[in-house]
Structure 1
Amino acid sequence: MNKPILTPLEVLQLFPPHDLTLGYFLDVRVEVDPDKAMLIFAERTWSRAEVLAESRRLAARLQGEGVKKGDRVIVAGRNSAWHVFALIACGLTGAIFVPVNPQLTVGELGYILGNARPALVLCADELQEICAQAMQESCQTAPLLTLNDALVEAVDTPLAAVAIAATDPLLMIYTSGTTGFPKGVLHSHQSFILAGEAFIGRMHLQPDERMLLILPMFHINALFYSVSGAFAAGATLIVEERFSASRFWNVAVRHRATQVNMIEAVVSILLTRPEEEYRPEHTIRKAYGIRQAMVERVQKKFGITHAIGGYGMTEIPGVISTPFGMVAPVGSMGQLCAHPDPARDWAECRVVDDDGADLPDGEIGELWVKTPVRMLEYFGDPEQTAASFSDGWFRTGDLVRRDQEGNFFFSARKKDIIRVRGENVSGAEVDRVLLQHPDVEIAAAIGVPGAMGDEDIFAAVKLRDGAEVTPDDLKDWCGKHLAAIKVPSYVALMNELPLTPTHKVQKVKLKEQVLNSDYRKAG
């Protein structure tokens, strides 16, 4: 006999009330059913009680290493069960979980280390050397420990109690910024938990859901939607080390997955894979992160009934999405999301002009958002934090329009961000690295349409007089100083770039020129 389908509010009501701190939030779920499978990684399964017990042991180890409330704990490595344990351990000790991209270069990681000033660094075996180099270059002296069972094998000291409030910081995600340097986006316990509860409403998650996590756990999608959503619903979280197109359907079938989060690049890859890899007996019926233009293909080819798109930022996760079970208008980002509990105040959106005045439906303006799921600050950057808000409204830098039915439509970005395979890349960061080359006089990186959706990076470069470097030389230079995803796909050597009177590149004008040319012939 099939179990009844619960409403999102009924799912939340399966568990006792909590105080919006991660430890208490998980305690009440363990209390309801301690033996329920909570986490699967590398063919190993942990129950709710086992996950909490392992996390408590790691928390005690953190305290034994001197980690205190408010300290940052860097976690570097591909997805693992340890990411989950470390997140919870930080929540129990009052520390701040800081996951980082394992593909960062020494220089990139060194910048983050210098900015975060961690009390402890946890990293995968294969990253020991690069982490040690980055710590030396950034003058950090925190303990460097390896992510494996040895972390907790010898722990026999009890976890010391720490007073924690819902508004205390829990995690920090580094995101590319228009300044050219990553910014640490700091979120509280309640922000993380409320995002997960809201995801129940967005996807109508059930407690018997088996949620497959394939996206990297240093991004909001994996953490605020998959991880927090699974915690909130009492579902089982299946963590894959990374996305593998050739293994995806076999993994989905083996673990009987029912829900997955994707990005456009993942969808594009799966749609073009050999037919023999697809397993029609899979049980995935819900997928989040599917752009509206791809919904019909995903539903027809993969049999995924509910393919949901949405909009959010690292600073404000989970603001807009396609209403569950509804068909969004062509090109729509969706409508304003809501929390399953109607008694909770939730997100509001405004579309405003350059002066911050509200615009009528149908007109294009900047999207401003006010939501309880919002960052506390850009870590160590009060000026940038203040500049990002106006009377409590977060200024997204995205230009949108809203129709009379409440559907939002994306128009363009005001900020200098390039969306590459689901990741935000700062154009200013690529500019800065190119300008460090001794033969480059002017450089500007912009986004151009990519073959797999999202964008590719196009770098326009003016060389100094007499320079003889090639586009490939400049790509190699970028590859030595930037993660692979930030290396330009195209480099064009130009005699002149459009400049402002203050000698800054007019990227809007440059982009118009590039898109009107046969830019794919560039090096």
Structure 2
Amino acid sequence: MGVSSNLLLPGIVVANAVEAFSMVGFGALSDRVGRRPVCLTGSIALVLFAFPFFWLMDTGNPVLVWLALIVAVGLCHGAMIGTQPSYFTELFGSTSRYSGMALGHELAAVFAGGLSPLIATALPAATGAAWPIALHLMGFGAITVFFARETVKRPVPAGRTASTGMVSEHAQRRRSAPRHPRGLPRPTVPSSSSESRGVPVTVSDIRPSPRARLRGLPITQCTIPSLLDRQAQTYEDKTLVRIGAVRRSFREVREQAARMAGLLAGQGVESGDRVAMLCRNRIELLDLVLGCAWLGAVAVPLNAAVRGQALSHALTGSGARILVAEPDLVEHLAIIERPGTLETVWTVGAVPADAPAGYPVEPLPPATAPLPPAEVGPGDTMAILYTSGTTGPSKGVCCPHAQFYWWGINVTEQLGIAEDDVLYTCLPLFHTNALNTFMQALVSGATFVLGSRFSASQFWAEAAEAEATVTYLLGAMIKILYSRPAGPEDSAHRIRRALSPATPAELCEPFQRRFGVQLTEGFGSTETNCVASGPVDPVRPGSLGRVQDDFEAMVVDEHDQQVPDGTPGELVLRSRQPYAFATGYFGLPDKTVEAWRNLWFHTGDRVFREADGTFRFIDRIKDAIRRRGENISSFEVEQVIALHEAVESTAVYAVPSDLAEDEVMAAVVVRPGHELDPVEIIRHCEKRLAYFAVPRYIDIVDALPLTENGKVRKSVLRDRGVTSGTWDREAAGYVLSR
């Protein structure tokens, strides 16, 4: 039976009007159950309804025709696009997901989308058949089903809540952001997932961010001088660095690097020479690192807390010709013998009156005329970074120029960093984490803000003052921040995302809910790169996420043979990109060969690979405990103890057993205002651990020995071992139930 255009046209208008309201309901539903199920359900329903739609339309019955149109367009199609209003909100800067402006633009899209069936009515009017509309609906639905897996996972735009759709101040600032720099296409604003205030972030909400705009540069351009020059031409006077009261634009950072290179060259420093630095977070430290890179020299930023033998080891091992130090740190040279290669010591400020004898100490010379960049290659060493030395003497890791480029590219993509982001870190600049935060800002066009140091009481206020949108946290920092009393500063910030390796499992959701910050797991090391990433997973503590496309990972046994999924072994890595990993340990060829044997870098981490391709951390191999034939993960025991409400922090490690092998010992720091008896810890563990993993020894301590980077120095705890103050479960007569 023919279908009159007089019947079709009003029906399509009514169906579109119904859709304008149904999409709001479906959009709200998608906030609760996720976008994918809502959109896929609508898409599949549209495909399946295509043939009933054809039959209903062909009846010519006005009621059935309108019913067919309302179900197909108003409901099925409404479910498909009901998840989309947030995109229009982001595009047009409205303040609410369901505001009049957002709905207005969405209505325009609805009616624009209705043009094709309207055009299709020309054929039914001429032929008296409804098959063109049916074909349109079936094809549209099928295409949407095909692409929904990728497109529907796109998260709520940065700064907006998933539940209310409110746009944060950061999102509103996009409209007044600096003019896009010349010479590069305007980027797509990367989205981040469920960056909400009060809504837990789930693993299924995460979608990889867009690729970094500088990905794919010719390898010869992946050097610090080339990147500084390129981005200075692109962004010119846009702010790149803020450290204290100092602000530097992209152009000024390049200019200062060239001037510092001129200063170093004027003092006889040549390409390949090492320049050591003993400084806290300050602009001069960044200038020196970049100046060395510009000149082709090698920066050796040292931990500002090193003393005695550790300081002597780093200065001697690196063969540094010059040491640049803060005045109050120079005194630590007095107790060590002057290394043979060290020619002079420069102070950032006045020379202290009690400068150590035997060292030529003078103020840092003034900047000179800028030098042109040296010809450096992507594989040339840019910096020697000394590891924390948690298990022995620290080793100097030779980090090439391109490794820093890849750090910047990889983390930029993992965190969805855009040019209007502000990256705030208070981690030490001598560490790879903070140095590579600068690289993320450099390659993405964002702004790098460096705090002086971590302060739990001031962290959120300092981040808010910096107008930060992205920050960087370690597991211990997560615990400390969450343990503080709740206050208005918890949400008075713009941070949407944090890179937070080793987040305590029990704090994943509570931290995200309280502070409104999406936590992202990242796995890497000074020797490698950020090789794996993903959302923190409270269901699977220790999850490292997925290995990124630029890298390969394998779990092997003691003979470097790959083991099946689910079987613990050592994680080994290699890169598909040239110079994305360190090139070795400076002056330690034997250690280099050992770590990179069989052309894989051996991480020393005991992990297993799950069937879905993600990796789970078990323990550091050197921290593994073997008690009476059973292998025990110190990491898993620490996770359980940390669940106790009175525990501030804990470390679990092996001590010798009278019966050979190991006994399990735990050092525990009690939260302020709480009291904790060792027996209570044992009872807590007994319910949650296998009997053989429950600690025998408990030490209640005031603080754990930490490196400057917040890692627990378990070697110190193991060396201290059982003391007269240690509580012994067996000596106390406590019998575990089995």
- TM-score range, shorter-chain basis? 0.7 to 0.9
Task: Give the alignment partner of residue 386 of structure 1, picking from 585, 588, 593.
Answer: 593
Residue 91 of structure 1: CA displacement? 0.8
CA distance in 2, matches of 1:315, 1:515: 40
**1:318 maps to 2:493:** no
Letter in structure 2 aligned against 1:111: H
Partner of 2:230: 28
CA distance in 2, matches of 1:146, 1:61: 14
Per-residue CA deviation, residues 461-495 of structure 1 (Å, 9 max, x unaligned), is xxxxxxxxxxxxxx9xx99xxx9975946844579
**1:286 maps to 2:286:** no
Task: Give the alignment partner of residue 619 of structure 2, picking from 412, 419, 444.
Answer: 412
Partner of 1:201: 413
Partner of 1:74: 276
Per-residue CA deviation, residues 141-187 of structure 1 (Å, 9 max, x unaligned), is 32111235997774334426522111000011111458721110111
Aligned to 2:260, the other structure's residue is in SS state helix
CA distance in 2, matches of 1:516, 1:400: 31
Partner of 1:93: 295
Cα 1:335–1:297 shift into 2, 3 Å: same
Cα 1:213–1:391 shift into 2, 3 Å: same
Residue 131 of structure 1: CA displacement? 3.5
Please report the RMSD computed on the Cα atoms of aligned residues, expressed in angstroms: 3.7
Cα 1:383–1:364 shift into 2, 3 Å: same
In 1, are the aligned partners of 2:386 and 2:396 still within 8 Å (CA)?
yes
Partner of 1:247: 458
Per-residue CA deviation, residues 74-100 of structure 1 (Å, 9 max, x unaligned), is 111211122221121111111111111
**1:302 maps to 2:515:** yes
CA distance in 2, matches of 1:38, 1:237: 6
Partner of 1:165: 377
**1:237 maps to 2:448:** yes
In 2, are the aligned partners of 1:212 and 1:260 still within 8 Å (CA)?
yes
In 1, are the aligned partners of 2:537 and 2:543 still within 8 Å (CA)?
no
In 2, are the aligned partners of 1:362 and 1:403 still within 8 Å (CA)?
yes
Moved more, 205-214 or 171-180: 171-180
In 1, are the aligned partners of 2:260 and 2:368 still within 8 Å (CA)?
no
Higher strand share: 1
Task: Give the alignment partner of residue 423 of structure 2, picking from 186, 199, 211.
Answer: 211
Letter in structure 2 aligned against 1:260: T
Residue 123 of structure 1: CA displacement? 1.0
CA distance in 2, matches of 1:397, 1:114: 26
Residue 317 of structure 1: CA displacement? 2.5
Moved more, 100-109 or 256-265: 100-109
Runs of 4 or more above 6 Å deviation: 13-18, 149-153, 417-420, 444-447, 513-518
In 2, are the aligned partners of 1:15 and 1:29 still within 8 Å (CA)?
no
Cα 1:360–1:11 shift into 2, 3 Å: same
Partner of 2:153: none
Cα 1:448–1:8 shift into 2, 3 Å: farther
Partner of 2:345: 144
CA distance in 2, matches of 1:516, 1:196: 51
CA distance in 1, matches of 2:494, 2:212: 23
CA distance in 2, matches of 1:364, 1:514: 30
Question: What's the % identity of the aligned pairs?
Answer: 28
In 2, are the aligned partners of 1:328 and 1:334 still within 8 Å (CA)?
no
Aligned to 1:278, the other structure's residue is in SS state helix
Letter in structure 1 aligned against 2:560: G
Per-residue CA deviation, residues 391-424 of structure 1 (Å, 9 max, x unaligned), is 210111211111111111111222369999xxxx
**1:116 maps to 2:318:** yes
**Higher normalized contact order (CA 8 Å, seq sep 6+, divided by chain length):** 1
Cα 1:312–1:416 shift into 2, 3 Å: same
Partner of 2:544: 334
Residue 289 of structure 1: CA displacement? 1.4
Cα 1:208–1:22 shift into 2, 3 Å: same
**1:355 maps to 2:566:** no
Partner of 2:468: 257
Per-residue CA deviation, residues 404-457 of structure 1 (Å, 9 max, x unaligned), is 11111111222369999xxxx9x99xxxxxxxxxxxxxxx9998465499xxxx
Pair member with larger Rg: 2
Residue 333 of structure 1: CA displacement? 2.4
Letter in structure 2 aligned against 1:348: E
CA distance in 2, matches of 1:400, 1:124: 41
CA distance in 2, matches of 1:127, 1:445: 41
- If the length of structure 1 is used for normalisation, what is the TM-score? 0.76
CA distance in 2, matches of 1:484, 1:314: 14
In 2, are the aligned partners of 1:8 and 1:200 still within 8 Å (CA)?
no
- If the length of structure 2 is used for normalisation, what is the TM-score? 0.55
CA distance in 1, matches of 2:473, 2:346: 31
CA distance in 2, matches of 1:40, 1:445: 49
CA distance in 2, matches of 1:269, 1:357: 40
Aligned to 2:311, the other structure's residue is in SS state helix
Task: Write out aligned runs for 1:480-499 (5 A).
Answer: 486=713, 488=716, 491-492=720-721
CA distance in 2, matches of 1:209, 1:18: 28
Aligned to 1:322, the other structure's residue is in SS state strand
CA distance in 2, matches of 1:316, 1:64: 34
Partner of 2:392: 180
Letter in structure 2 aligned against 1:298: F
Aligned to 1:309, the other structure's residue is in SS state strand
Residue 140 of structure 1: CA displacement? 4.7
Residue 318 of structure 1: CA displacement? 0.9
Letter in structure 1 aligned against 2:417: L
In 2, are the aligned partners of 1:111 and 1:138 still within 8 Å (CA)?
no
Letter in structure 2 aligned against 1:349: A
Aligned to 1:391, the other structure's residue is in SS state helix
Cα 1:337–1:365 shift into 2, 3 Å: closer
Aligned to 2:211, the other structure's residue is in SS state helix
Task: Give the alignment partner of residue 247 of structure 2, picking from 45, 49, 55.
Answer: 45
Residue 214 of structure 1: CA displacement? 0.9
CA distance in 2, matches of 1:388, 1:142: 32
Partner of 1:466: none
CA distance in 1, matches of 2:546, 2:235: 33
Aligned to 1:187, the other structure's residue is in SS state strand
Higher helix share: 2
Moved more, 137-146 or 252-261: 137-146
Task: Give the alignment partner of residue 5 of structure 1, picking from 170, 179, 189.
Answer: 189
Cα 1:398–1:75 shift into 2, 3 Å: same
CA distance in 1, matches of 2:730, 2:470: 41
Cα 1:233–1:53 shift into 2, 3 Å: same
CA distance in 1, matches of 2:565, 2:267: 55
Letter in structure 1 aligned against 2:500: G
**Structure 2 unaligned spans of 5+:** 1-91, 94-173, 175-187, 191-208, 351-361, 625-633, 639-650, 655-661, 672-701, 733-738
**Corresponding pairs, count:** 446
Letter in structure 1 aligned against 2:569: G
Cα 1:270–1:63 shift into 2, 3 Å: same
Letter in structure 1 aligned against 2:189: I
CA distance in 1, matches of 2:510, 2:298: 40
Partner of 2:11: none
Residue 285 of structure 1: CA displacement? 0.5
Residue 44 of structure 1: CA displacement? 2.3
In 1, are the aligned partners of 2:321 and 2:341 still within 8 Å (CA)?
no
CA distance in 2, matches of 1:169, 1:386: 18
